Structures are given as structure tokens and as C-alpha cells.
Structure 1
């Protein structure tokens, strides 16, 4: 019998089948808008993690977690009989992939369970840490997410090692498949040095936005030095940029580096060539694990992870800020460059007393030199970092306070506002990086406020555009921004070019007195005005519509607003309002996709919103691009009708401008941009556009537009 014919249909996931994007790499990839399809969730549509976590026995879980720290397992034994260092690194690396430019990464979704993060070189052997936690996940089930469990592991590790943490919040909800469309860099190899193909650096050393890490596959900086070459001052400069892009200042950077290295050790006592593939490329017999060593011992003192070998402190199994602690070691010894057994560059003390050396992880009769990485030496060499290090050394209580807060920030930064926090250990204090917003009134006469707005003289375009601009800053990645808080009226948002400050000031000068007279928030009134504009536009199109409205937004104050932190939310383009601040290498339609994904929109919702906003007259600066209608201000499906009408041809007139021309006469009927015409040229988006262009879809279009609009307006209504 012949075995030459394969018995299964070959799909997109097989090695022998190229994807659409591989065949046509310039095609618009819409996959990012459908990353978390409900079909991937095994818990079902009715599962509510917020309700489940309320039933969690938190004290029992914390107790079990602390017990696990010293319950060593033969298949992966703990250093010094304590998993603290490993679990701290798990939580750190889970949270540390966050970058503030777009809010992506971080630990709030449990994404480290999937590629590429589960197989990044910098996450080596953290697959073992997750597997060690499996008995607790199995026991507590869906009452605790993997995302919460991994962060809790690090926090409980610190507590079990003698450190008092600032607090902990549950509320991270797991995703169920890889976020494969997140941009982590364009390099084609792991740990590629800067200057090569697809380098993330330009100029002197300008790191590409939105990236934060210095290399593909690292969480932050290279511990051996810039491009693997030791130079602590240059490493300090990398750290300053990288940690700033994680929303950390110099003091927090020093505290996190020192606090992270006060306990645990690095692993490089062996030959890295003996390690098997990372988890995603490992054989099926590896049980889903990677970096296994089948040629030599590969565990305990012979573990290889980063390649650097050794502990930073005398007592790496417990928190210590006195003699033998991190700053005592760093500042009171002279250090020299050496190599680990695995060949990694590291620093060791020139002279140190035998009793100040840490003991071996398996045999406490053996002592080894402590080590420092280039990132550690940066805290001693860089003038600002050294100043902070000396203060921390001289005032351990102050260091512990700063570190506790910095650790809490690191592990909670991407969770959003406190309304998303759950559990008995949530700190009562409102922190500026949580973007606090006071609760707004709810039980007021909404119709009376709408009547005041209707009599204000504002146009449909002015009301809708202002509400959109207020809400479009929302990022589902880290739950920042949005209409709640009405920060569009505060610096820096009130001066952003994309918000058209002159138009914004005009609208606010009308809406703010209405809010004050009614005793309601400006945030609510801005959204209510946008809703009213849509209702008026629907009526002009022949449909009676009621746009659902949720009251209760509050108004933030300047004191509640960190201007520098909010600067990263400034839109550089908004395809929904047909605007770009300037021309970019990335196409307008790709930037529109990015904005839509951050807003949590599907491709269909993005399509219907663009078609509606065009005919409502919300284009930036009143530009006519994409306004394919003769009844501007009426919520019609004209955009789609005329976009798909083959009586017109499209002619490019510039880098991002086109004329829509009558085929028979050559007369220019309309103008357009790429953000308009992609809905008629991309095969998937055209399929949606054709639905809305149908004669029987006029009412469906209005209904779907309103549903998508409300989704955006309410995206940040977590309470």
C-alpha cells in the first residue's frame, strides 16, 4: 500500500502552506482586529471572571503559594530550596514587556503562555515556573486567571522572602491564543545587534517607536552591555530610554533593578549548546517545555538560562538591605570583567571576604563569587543612577518604600483604573499613574440636558467630532484614555493638533456651561452631544433613532492628570476623521487598523464607523475627502453606495489623495484618501462595504453605526 499521498487537507498552519501575507506581503492584514475571537475561549460566552474571582479564597491561595515556594520538585529543583527568585522573574518578565507608546505587552492577559513571548530568549526557563504553578491553577480553577496567578507568584515570593509589598489586585483576564500581530520589531533573528537588517535603531541610538526593549527577544536591556559589549555608561543610557518607555523614572529604574537582584541568581553554569529548542519549537515529547538539556545534568547548579552565572548578594534566598545586600555589594566593592562558564560577560569583585560570598544552590559548604551585570554596574557608573543608589543604600527604609511602589506599578500598570482591581489587598491610595477619575452623577434628567444641547446652535459635525476625539484615545491594551474624565479639556489634550483646538474650544465653551447649570459632568455632556448629533443625522436620513447613553462619567482635574504620561496617547493619525499629522512610512490604512484595534473594534465595526463619520461631516478641518454624499449631515449609506459604484473610476493625485471621476464625462465628482478607498479595494473590507451599500441595508447601516459608536463611547466605563 502506498503512503505517498497525504491523507489530510493541508491548512494554513502546516509547514508546506504559505499564508496569504507570505504570497502578497503588501496586502492589508486585518487579523489584528480579530485576535481574540470568542470562538477561542473555552470558558464560554457566559463566563464572567469578575464574578468568579469574587468567590476565590484569597488567603488560602496566598498560603498555598507561599508553601509552594519551598516545596521543591525533583524535575525542576529550587535554588537554595526556594523558588522565590524564579517566581519573581516570572512576574517581572510577564509584566515587563509593557510599553507605554501603545500600551501593548504586559501581564494583564497572561500572554506569556503563548508565542512569541513563551519562547523569547530572555524568558528562558520561565516555562518551568509556569508549570510549577500548575497544581495551584488546577486547584483553584477558573476562580483565578493565569495572568493573575503569575503576577501573584512574584509578589508572594517577595513576601515569603521577608519583604513587605505595597499590595496586589486581581482582575487580569486571560486570553486564549497568541497576540501574533503585536509588533515586537522587524528583526529576522533573536538578539540581533543594532545596525543589522531590520534594526530598531536609527541615528545615534534612536529606538523605534513603539518598542521599548533594546533587542528582539529581550524584556529590556542586554545584561552583558550594548550589543553584548560591556560599557556600563552606555548601558545606563539604554536603561533610561527603555524604562521610560515602561513608564518608569530614574528612581523607579534603580529601585526595580536593585530590588529584582536582591534575591535569586542568574544561571550560566553549563554549555548553552546543549539546550534544546525553545518551547514553541520543541518536540512533542518535551511536554510543552523548552530549553531542556538532554546531554548533561542541566538543573540545579548546572542550569543555563541567560548564560550569566551567580547571585548578586550574600543571602539571595531572603530580602536583605544590610551587609551583604545589593547596594552594599555594588558600592563597597571594586569589580572586574570576567566570563561565566557559559561564556557570558559579567562582573565579579576583585576582592571579597569568603563569608560575604553566596553559598552554592545545592551545597552550602561551597561558596561562589557574587556577580553584577552591565545593568547593575550602570547604577554605579552613571552619575544620576549612582546618586540614587547611594541614597537607597544610606536609607534602606526609603529604598523599600520606593521599590514596593515601583513593583506594584510594574505589575499593575497595564490593568487600567482601580475600577478594574479586585481583592482584599488593593491599596486605598489613588496613584497618579492610575489616571484617577471621580465618579459622576447618574440620576439626572438626560432629556433636559439634551434639549439644552439641541438649542445650543452646535452643528452635527461639531458635536460628533468632539465626542469622537474625546473617546478615541481609549486603548484596550492598557485601558487608558477614553471619554471618561473629559481630559480632552485639559493639558495636554486640549492643545493636540488632532483635536483641532480652535474647534474644540468653541464646542467646550458651549457645553461646559450646560454641564455646570445641570450639575452634571462635562464628560457626560460631551458624549451626550455626540449622541444627539447622531440622532439628528439619523432623522435627516429618514430614521427615528435613540442612541443608548450611560450616565456617570466624572471630570478629572489637572491634579489627577500626569501631562507627560498622557503625551503618549496623542493621535498621530485618525483614519476615522481622515487625518494624518504628517506622512509616515506606515500607510494611512495600517494606522487606522492600529487605532481600531486599540479601540477594540472588529473590521466590520471599523467599516461602518468610517462610512458614517464621513457623511456626518466630521473630517478634520472640514476637508471633503471621502464625503461621498450630496446630503452631508444625514446618516445615510451614501459612502458605501458611491464607493462601490462602478460608474466612477479612481485616479491618484498625490501620495495620499485621489479623485473620484465619472467614467463617461471625466468629471471629478469627489476626492478621497487611502483611508477611504481601502474599503473598496481590500477584498475583506469591500465585502463589508457591499453589505452596507445594498438597497435593503439603509436601516441596518444606521443600527450598526449606532452600536459601534456606543461601544467606543462606553469603552472606558468599567464601573
Structure 2
């Protein structure tokens, strides 16, 4: 802004520095303050489509056949402003879809292509995603044409699938149903590094031990999707790289066969780009000037396309015919010996020794010129590692087997974070139930809910047992990849039945009483557990003087052991639950931060998190029956006592040790209650306290009960995509 007083001192501008948010300023001043941002993101106010927009309803209007034809035609059309390698955008679109989906990690379910988050920082500007900004712009005319009937998230993944089909792959299927987000995600931890491609050892306890990578991370370096193509920390060692490939793909939910298939199938088509000098590239999209209009990595000295394209620094194609789905990858990998060389950009890669001229791929611009193919360290790992080699040799001898294995792995890669099949849409959705989809059979809906509730109510189960069992069953849900939840009643199966946080002995007692009731009424145990929780809530509300009915939707089914991938479910085990005031052990991360993480995965706002915790404390659902945070003399009644006593100025609060505190009477100094840091943060954090004060008011008793019931129902139905 120009300074009109002529002093030339732009610092006098009243708006200088106005681009910095209050939240960021607060974190600079008070770095240890609890940051509630992850519970405030994706508010309906930031969605330009409005609160009433229903993507699944819009999808019903989509002409899928016409869309697929448009995407297929795009692969060889639109060559004017961004010419494709060999005139085919297949490799670019596959990389776009792959890098969108490939950020998924199993441990917390975050990342992936299910929200279109590759459009935003930091993913849109990761070094590994160089030039994918062009791929998205190439898709813009199609997105513009189909409008709100097609999300960016669906279009990006579809483009990769159609690209493979256009080059000859028989794909396993495709589903629509991914809903876009509208600003960068704040809940995904990508690593603590302060620079792109920082050395791998910053996220490993021991770089020699691939399994020591920091959780929940999956990629080996900041800014990469998987592994460094030049080797661990840029040093070639295919045997060591194989170990890191195995760990990285395992953290992205892939086994050895799927990993080998994806590596080979991903490199069967397209090429890597490194024919130039990285220093000639302009800034990434987020750092670019206004006139770049969101484009990044502009080449200031050359065309930046075709022979001049630069992304990874590795240069060349992997196969003889890079626009054709074939077994050429294995023909070259096993048909030749390979040696280390440098790309034109100085990157380390592998080149074949004494390769036949006819086995060389042609130049991307001039088919009369043939160039050497190349392999990365990850490719050589497929040859060196005995497990990967055995798998790849089977692939090389049976193209149909390779094709089917890859097609299934590609489908898993691009659909894993979508959740259950109830969220799938479209004519190409596979009918087969896949175990990684966590299948659940449909449940009975034709029964008298009130009769079941009466039966449950007549048992000797306490309010605490009823409510805590339902909570433990539902709390596994995570909105990051729509896994877990009460539907399926997997709390009664391995591994959940033995999780420490589920109090196995108490759980078996409750199940032994509820299971006969489910059998008597021919309904699912899943429905029975949720109904039992509702009965407990209604009893607690009655104890507080309120006659309410907790909403209930029947139809949950019961999963079986055969439907449950035990290893996959191990990552859902809670190691902390602020709602039940429990920690499995001490962690570097504070209990309060772990509470926020759980609340965010459950899809809760800060207010919803608070109202649930306040209610569950006074009901008496703490793990092991502890009294931490139970700020009431009327345990078992759904009152607002937690907030009343938390904010009572007749109390004083004292730190005991670690995360433990006690509350004493201000005048008499007598002990009143014990508490944890999770309890007291609701009075110390200024935002949370403002909410606590609302619920502590004399006129908020009924509001509290109603808000608790509404939020409880939200959690119980979080995984009911069949009714959404």
C-alpha cells in the first residue's frame, strides 16, 4: 500500500502485517496453549456449496458414460499449452491420482484422495508433486462442464483410472462418492521437519531400522509420497531401500504382493523427468507471485515440457512402450544387468548394460530417436529383495495374474480412505465385498425397539456399564477414513475384545447379558449395545429430572471374524480416551492433545466434545470407575454439575503431580475432588472456558441434557452411512 504522506515508510500502513491470523499470533506468544483449530476446520461457512448441498443427490444427475468419454479423450487432446509425453497424458494423470491417494496412512486414516486435499497446501506444493498443478488445470474444463455433479476428489482419482484403461489395463472398477473440502486440512501431521526433503534420519529412531519411523508418518522424507527414488537419504542401496519400501507401503495398508504390483504397474507407463537443472525452476504454487495464478515450478530458461520437463531429477522411462499396459517392466528389469549412472540433473539412477536398440523407448518428442530406459533404487529393490523378486518373477511369467493383482491394488489404493461400500456410487462399483472395506451385513429393522429397551432396563447392568460399553463400541470411528464405529459390533471380536481400553473383564460381563437379549429379539448385537447405551442415558436424565428419549436408528449388522482383518484393526486401538479419563501410559503428547485428536476423528466440534465429557463424567463412566473429574455428589444423574463445580469460585485448584490435580474448598481447605489435566483444561483454556460457563449457568440444565443427547446420537450414528 502506498504511503500518502510521502514519508516512504510503508511500516506506518495501518494494515501492515494484517495477513497474520490471531491464532498464529497467539501461538507465537503462548506456544504451549491448547490449539483447538483441528475441531474448527471445515465449518459449513467455508463451503461455497452451502449447508444443504448433498453430493450423493447431485451424483444421481451425473452422466457417467459421457464423463468417462470426456476424460478418455482428454488423454490425447488438449495438447496446445501443455504438450504431453508421446502425445498421451496417461502418465501425468496416473501420477496425479496416485499422489492424491498415496498420502493415505493406515495408522490414523488421514491423508488420501477422498477429499481433494491435493488442491491445497502443503500437498499442492510438495516437491514430489511438481507439475501436478498442470494436471489439475488440464482437468478444469471437465470439472467446469459437470459442475457440482462431480467433485474434484472424484475427478482426480477417475482421471488416473481412465488413464490406465486408455493404455490397455482392465481395471477392477471405480466408485464415485468423495466429497471435496474447501481449505487446507489442519489435522494432518506431515512431520516436524522445517525444510523440504530434509534427511530421513529426522523421522527415524534408527535409519537402519525402517520400522523405527515416527508414527503416524509413512513417507520417508518431508515432501515425498513414498520413498526417495535415489535411495535412502539419496544414497543408492537397493537392499536397504527394499526395507523402507516395505515399511512405507505397509503403513499405507499394502502387503508385499500389492506393493510389488503397484511399484511395477506404476512404472509400466509414463516416465520420470530430470532433463535439466532444478535451479532453473520457479517457486512452488503456494510461493508463486500473483501472475502465476496458482501455477508453480515454471522453467525460466527452457520450455518446461517434453524433453525439457523437470520434476524429480530422475530422467527416463521404465519400459520400451510407456503408453501401453504390458509386461515390459519385467522384461527390462530381469532381462538386463543394471549399473548406477547420473541423470542430466545429477540424480542417481540405474541404466541397463548393453541394451538392444529396439528395447529402448523413443524420445517423447521425436520417435526417430531412442533413449535409454532407467530404473530407480525402488525398482532395483524389486530385483534384489528375495521376497519382492519372487513375486515379480511370478508376475513376469503371468501377465494376466499381474494385471489382476495390480488392478485390485490400484482400486484399493484409490478407494481405501472412502470407508464402507455404503458410500460408493456409480455403475462401475465392484459387487465383491473386500475385507479391507470392513464389510458388515445388513441388520434387522423390523422389531419393537421399546420392548428391547424394557428388557435391557430390567437387567442388573448399571448406568455406567450400559453407557461405557456403547461408547467403547462407537469411539473407534474415525472420520479420516470412515473406519470403526458401533456398526458391526466388532467390540466383541478380536482384537477389540482384548484391548485394555475396553476393560475386557467388564466388557464380557456386559456382552454376556446383552447377547441373549439380541438373540431373543432376533436383532444384531450392534443395535443392542447402542440401545443399551441409550437406556443408560435416559435413566441418567431421569435421575436429573428430565424425561427424554434418545433417538435411535435400527439396522446395524454384526460382523464376523471372517469379515475382520485383525492386523488392520490393531491401528484403531485407543491408547487414550479423554472422554473416559484414561491413558494407557504416559506419552510425549499431552492427554489434552490426544483428546482433541480423538474428538476430531469422531467429527466433533469443541462444544460437542465438551458436552460429552461433562456428561460422561457425572454419569460415572470413567475407566476403572475412577473419580477423576467427577465433580458431583449425584453420580449417575445427567446434570451440568461438572461445569458448575469446575467454574465455582468457592474452589481452589492444586497441582499434585504429573497430570493429576485436586480441588479444595477455598475457605476450609478441605479436599473436594480429584482431577486430571483433561478435566481442568476446560476451565483454563479461554475458549473452552467460555463454553463451560454457558453450561454452568442456572438456565442451562435442560440445554445441557438436550445437547448431550444430540451429540451422543451423532457419535452412535457416525458410521451409519446407510441412513445418511
| TM-score computed with the length of structure 1 as normaliser | 0.98
The superposition leaves residues 473-513 of structure 1 with CA deviations (integer Å, 9 ceiling, x where unpaired) of 00000000000000000000000000000010000000000
1:13 Cα deviation (Å)? Answer: 3.1
Contact residue 127 and residue 290 of structure 1 kept, 8 A = yes
- Out of 76, 79, 84, the residue aligned to residue 82 of structure 2 is 76
Q: What are structure 1's unaligned runs of at least 5 residues?
A: none
Contact residue 485 and residue 553 of structure 1 kept, 8 A = yes
- Out of 405, 423, 428, the residue aligned to residue 426 of structure 2 is 423
Hey, what does 1:536 align to over in structure 2?
539
Hey, what does 1:304 align to over in structure 2?
310
Hey, what does 1:215 align to over in structure 2?
221
- Out of 41, 58, 80, the residue aligned to residue 35 of structure 1 is 41
- Out of 460, 470, 474, the residue aligned to residue 473 of structure 2 is 470
Q: How does 1:638-653 map to 2 (within 5 A)?
A: 638-653=641-656
Hey, what does 1:485 align to over in structure 2?
488
For 2:413 and 2:18, the matched residues in 1 are separated by 37
1:200 Cα deviation (Å)? Answer: 4.6
Hey, what does 2:124 align to over in structure 1?
118
For 1:26 and 1:217, the matched residues in 2 are separated by 26
The superposition leaves residues 350-393 of structure 1 with CA deviations (integer Å, 9 ceiling, x where unpaired) of 11001100000000011110000000000000110111111111
For 2:262 and 2:18, the matched residues in 1 are separated by 42
For 1:603 and 1:553, the matched residues in 2 are separated by 28
For 1:181 and 1:565, the matched residues in 2 are separated by 22
For 1:584 and 1:343, the matched residues in 2 are separated by 43
Contact residue 539 and residue 634 of structure 1 kept, 8 A = yes
More displaced, 447-456 or 14-23? 14-23
Hey, what does 1:693 align to over in structure 2?
696
Hey, what does 1:85 align to over in structure 2?
91
1:202 Cα deviation (Å)? Answer: 4.7
Contact residue 185 and residue 200 of structure 1 kept, 8 A = no
Contact residue 220 and residue 228 of structure 2 kept, 8 A = yes
- Out of 416, 433, 436, the residue aligned to residue 439 of structure 2 is 436
Relative to 1, partners in 2 of residues 1:233 and 1:635: Cα closer, same or farther, differing over 3 Å? same
Hey, what does 2:382 align to over in structure 1?
379
1:12 Cα deviation (Å)? Answer: 5.8
1:16 Cα deviation (Å)? Answer: 12
Hey, what does 1:388 align to over in structure 2?
391
- Out of 344, 349, 363, the residue aligned to residue 341 of structure 1 is 344
Q: How does 1:592-631 map to 2 (within 5 A)?
A: 592-631=595-634
More displaced, 388-397 or 143-152? 388-397
Hey, what does 1:718 align to over in structure 2?
721
Hey, what does 1:332 align to over in structure 2?
335
- Out of 253, 257, 267, the residue aligned to residue 259 of structure 2 is 253
For 1:634 and 1:457, the matched residues in 2 are separated by 17
Hey, what does 1:47 align to over in structure 2?
53
Hey, what does 2:296 align to over in structure 1?
290
1:686 Cα deviation (Å)? Answer: 0.6
For 2:511 and 2:417, the matched residues in 1 are separated by 30
Contact residue 544 and residue 637 of structure 2 kept, 8 A = yes
Structure 2 counterpart SS, 1:346 = strand
**Residue 232 (str. 1) matches residue 235 (str. 2):** no
- Out of 648, 656, 659, the residue aligned to residue 659 of structure 2 is 656
Hey, what does 1:243 align to over in structure 2?
249
Contact residue 349 and residue 375 of structure 2 kept, 8 A = yes
Contact residue 539 and residue 545 of structure 1 kept, 8 A = yes
Hey, what does 1:106 align to over in structure 2?
112
Contact residue 471 and residue 482 of structure 1 kept, 8 A = yes
For 1:202 and 1:453, the matched residues in 2 are separated by 53
More displaced, 18-27 or 437-446? 18-27
For 1:591 and 1:405, the matched residues in 2 are separated by 35
Contact residue 201 and residue 207 of structure 2 kept, 8 A = no
1:659 Cα deviation (Å)? Answer: 1.1
Contact residue 32 and residue 597 of structure 1 kept, 8 A = yes
Structure 1 counterpart SS, 2:92 = helix
Contact residue 12 and residue 18 of structure 1 kept, 8 A = no
More displaced, 201-210 or 381-390? 201-210
Equivalenced residues, count: 714
**Residue 152 (str. 1) matches residue 170 (str. 2):** no
1:466 Cα deviation (Å)? Answer: 0.2
For 1:714 and 1:204, the matched residues in 2 are separated by 44
Hey, what does 2:276 align to over in structure 1?
270
Structure 2 counterpart SS, 1:347 = strand
For 2:300 and 2:272, the matched residues in 1 are separated by 21
**Residue 181 (str. 1) matches residue 181 (str. 2):** no
**Residue 511 (str. 1) matches residue 503 (str. 2):** no
1:284 Cα deviation (Å)? Answer: 0.7
More displaced, 420-429 or 37-46? 37-46
Contact residue 200 and residue 207 of structure 2 kept, 8 A = no
1:662 Cα deviation (Å)? Answer: 1.4
Hey, what does 1:459 align to over in structure 2?
462
| TM-score computed with the length of structure 2 as normaliser | 0.97
Alignment RMSD (CA, Å): 1.3
1:341 Cα deviation (Å)? Answer: 0.7
